[in-house]
Amino acid sequence: MNTAINFWPLIGVAVVAVGFILRLNPMMIVSVAAVITGFLAKMSFHDILAVMGVAFIKFRNLPLITLLPLPIIGLLERHGLREFVQTAIGKVRAATTGRFLICYLFVRETSASVGLVSLGGQAQMVRPLIAPMAESVAESQHGKLAPHQAHRIRAFAAASDNIGLFFGEDIFIAFGGVLFMQAALRTAGIEVSAIQIAFAGIPTAICVFLIHSFRLYRLDAWLERDIKRSLEQTKVPAVNQECRS
C-alpha cells in the first residue's frame, strides 16, 4: 500500500534560504522555520517547543567547542603568527600562489577522506595561516598587492578549504552524509554498504580536485596579467605629466 508523502514541511528549508538571502537574524530565521515546519508536519505547538528544547539541551555545548579556538588563534596572531608564516613561505622560491593552494587542497581533501575533518577550517587554518601564506608567495613574486588582488587570493584560499572538505569527507565511510544515503537507499529497498557509497564518491572527488586545481593554476596567470595591467596604467599618467611639463 502506497503512503502519500507530505512535502509541505520542506517549506521550512525555503524559509531558511530566503532569510539568509535577506540577511536577517540567523536565530530568528531558524526558529521561525522550525515552527513553520512543525505546523506543516501537523505537530502541536507544545510538541514543537518540546523538540526545540531537547535539541537546545543536547547541542548547547557545541558553540563553546566551535568558538574556543578563536581566542587562541587571535593570541597567536597578536604575537606574530602571520608574519612568521609569511616569512617562511616567502623563502620557497619554487612556490607560487596557485601551487601552494593546490598542495593545501590535496592535503585538505586527503585528510577529510580519512575522517580528519578538523585538520583545516576557515577560522583555524585559512584565516591565520593559509591565506597569509598565499599572499606572501604572491608578494615575493610581484611586490605589494592591491586590495582586490589580496581579496581574490583569500577567496581562493577559502574555496580550497571548503571544496577539499566537502568532497573529501564524502569518501569517509563513517561520515554522516554517507550513512544518511545508506539509510535512505535502504528505505527505498536498495541495499548498499557504506563502503560502496564511499567508493562511489572517489571519481567525483578526483574530478573536483582536477577542476579546482586548474582554477588555481589560472590564478597565477591572472595575478601576473592584472599586475602588469596595473603597472601600465600607472605609467601612462606619469608619461602624460612629463609631456605637459
Tally of domains in the chain? 2
- Within a domain: 110: yes
> Is residue 207, in this structure, part of any structural domain at all?
yes
The last residue of one of the domains, among 29, 60, 91, is 60
For the question of whether the overall pTM of this predicted structure is more than 0.85, the answer is no
Q: Are 129 and 85 in contact (CB under 8 A)?
A: yes
Are 202 and 152 part of one and the same domain? yes
Mapped onto helix, strand or coil, the DSSP state of residue 17 is helix
Residue 243 belongs to a domain: no
113 and 43 co-located in one domain: no
CA end-to-end distance (rounded Å), the chain? 91
Q: What is the pLDDT of residues 156-214, one digit of tens each?
A: 999 999 999 999 988 887 777 787 788 878 887 888 888 888 888 899 999 999 999 99
When the pLDDT of each residue in the chain is averaged and rounded to a whole number, the result is: 81
Q: Are residues 10 and 72 in the same domain?
A: no
Residue 90's pLDDT is 61
Within a domain: 151: yes
Does 122 fall in a domain? Answer: yes
Give the model's pLDDT for residue 58. Answer: 66
Whether 241 is in a domain gets the answer no
103 has a pLDDT exceeding 80:
yes
Q: Is residue 210 part of a domain?
A: yes
Domain ranges, residue 155: 66-229
Q: Which 8-state DSSP code applies to residue 145?
A: P
Tell me whether residue 245 is in a domain: no
Average confidence (pLDDT) over 1-27 = 79
Whether residues 161 and 78 share a domain: the answer is: yes
User: 87, 191 in Cβ contact below 8 A?
Assistant: no
State whether 122 and 88 are in the same domain: yes
Task: Looking at the structure, tell me whether residues 93 and 144 fall in a common domain.
Answer: yes
Sign of CA pseudo-dihedral 97, 103, 106, 109: negative
Residue with cell 592535503: 107
The answer to whether residues 70 and 40 belong to one domain is no
Are 169 and 112 within 8 A, CB to CB? yes
- Mark whether 70 and 43 lie in a shared domain: no
Are residues 87 and 2 part of one domain? no
Shared domain for 50 and 158, answered yes or no, is no
